[in-house]
């Protein structure tokens, strides 16, 4: 299988772990939400986040909360058989173009919702599946994802944002870090954190 061309440096990606498998299944009726900001404090399983507008949000961590470090990657890092999450835009003709790709670490793929499903943003589609093939075509590439007998063709422009996700210890999260938290809203307004991620 051929490698595909490099992508330019990428920035913070928000929309990869939309559905979090086991974590989301426990609260199937709750909508997954995300918040990002700077860690103001972290103690006794609670994290206080300060957003860019100065507002604060408290998140509750559990032993199941995943901590992920996101490292910049390129299309040359993608291999057949990789489990990935691909955020894409669906055009009116049904064709999909990738806007962000996350390469999952070993074990994480078991915990996410698999297949293809809509995101909160209109026209945005999430595909969590395994790479079965890709081919170069001009300034973009055709990526084929596969899950449970279904195949999902996605066009991947050269400038698609790409991250490799690494599962790390909770101790890696420190005050002053910029993080993204995904989870579900508790009745008291706090966020039940399923995933905390940061750029490495």
Question: For position 138, what pLDDT does the model report?
Answer: 67
Q: Are 96 and 89 in contact (CB under 8 A)?
A: yes
pLDDT digits (tens), the chain, 200 positions: 333 333 222 223 334 444 444 444 444 445 678 899 999 999 989 999 999 999 999 999 999 899 999 999 988 888 899 999 999 999 989 899 999 999 998 778 887 889 999 987 888 999 999 999 977 766 678 899 999 999 999 999 988 999 999 999 999 999 999 999 988 999 999 999 988 999 98
What domains appear along the chain, each with residue ranges and CATH number?
A: 23-67+168-199 (2.40.50.140), 80-165 (no CATH)
- What's the pLDDT score for residue 110? 84
Rg (Cα) of the chain, in Å, rounded?
Answer: 17
Exposed/middle/buried for 63, CB within 10 Å: 0-12, 13-18, 19+?
exposed
Where would I find the H helices in 55-149? none
Residue whose entry in the numeric block shows the structure tokens 């990935």: 84
As a whole number of angstroms, the distance between CA 136 and CA 44 comes to 50
In the block, residue with structure tokens 């996101």: 70
Predicted TM-score (pTM) of the model is: 0.73
């Amino acid at each position: 299988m051929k490698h595909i061309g490099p992508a330019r440096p990428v920035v913070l990606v928000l929309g990869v772990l939309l559905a979090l498998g086991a974590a989301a299944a426990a609260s199937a009726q709750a909508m997954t939400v995300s918040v990002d900001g700077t860690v103001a404090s972290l103690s006794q399983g609670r994290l206080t986040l300060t957003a860019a507008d100065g507002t604060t949000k408290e998140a509750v961590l559990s032993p199941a909360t995943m901590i992920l470090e996101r490292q910049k990657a390129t299309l040359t890092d993608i291999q057949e058989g990789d489990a990935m999450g691909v955020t894409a835009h669906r055009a009116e003709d049904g064709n999909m173009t990738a806007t962000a790709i996350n390469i999952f670490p070993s074990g994480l793929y078991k915990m996410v919702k698999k297949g293809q499903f809509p995101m909160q943003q209109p026209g945005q589609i999430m595909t969590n599946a395994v790479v079965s093939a890709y081919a170069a075509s001009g300034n973009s590439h055709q990526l084929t994802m596969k899950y449970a007998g279904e195949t999902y063709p996605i066009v991947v422009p050269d400038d698609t944002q790409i991250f490799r996700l690494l599962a790390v210890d909770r101790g890696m999260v420190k005050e002053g870090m910029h993080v993204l938290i995904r989870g579900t809203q508790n009745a008291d307004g706090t966020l039940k954190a399923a995933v905390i991620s940061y750029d490495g």
